[in-house]
Structure formats: structure tokens, C-alpha cells
Amino acid sequence: MHLHIKVALQQLRGGYSDTMQHLRQQLVDFASLIELELDFAEEDVEFANREKLTSLVEGLLIEIRRLQKVLSKEMY
């Protein structure tokens, strides 16, 4: 395995564990809201606040892009 891959994996396991845990929780929350909406899509009931969903997705994208930048800089 290449050295930069080993370093990146080590950082993911330790250095970024809090960030990854937070990102994971946000993804779980998003998936739960979407599943709830899909389960009752044919009924005229809205469980998830659309603004909350939009805000959650925007936050996820920002976090993922930030993490992508950091990791790509460290690998090269």
C-alpha cells in the first residue's frame, strides 16, 4: 500500500474520528427524515420540515467538501 494511503487511513481512524462521527450522525438523521417522508408520501402528511432538510443537506455538503479538501491536500 502506498505511503500516502496509509497516512490517510491512519488520519481517518484517529485524527478525523470526531468529524467523521458528526458527519455520520448527520447522514443518519437525514436518512431517517427521508425514509419517513417516503413511507408516507402518498398520504397528505408532511413529517419533515423542508427548510430543515435543505439546511441539513447544505451542512452535509459543506462538511464533505471541507473534508475532501483537507484529505486531498494531505495525500499529495
pLDDT tens-digit map of 19-60: 888 889 989 988 988 888 888 777 777 766 778 888 889 999
Q: Which amino acid appears at position 3 of this protein?
A: L
What's the whole-number mean pLDDT along residues 54-73? 87
- Residue 74, pLDDT > 80, answer no
Give pLDDT, residue 16.
72
Nearest of 56, 55, 59, 38 to residue 47 by alpha carbon: 38
Residue 73 has pLDDT above 70, yes or no: yes
Inform me whether the pLDDT recorded for 11 exceeds 70: no
d(CA 13, CA 41): 38
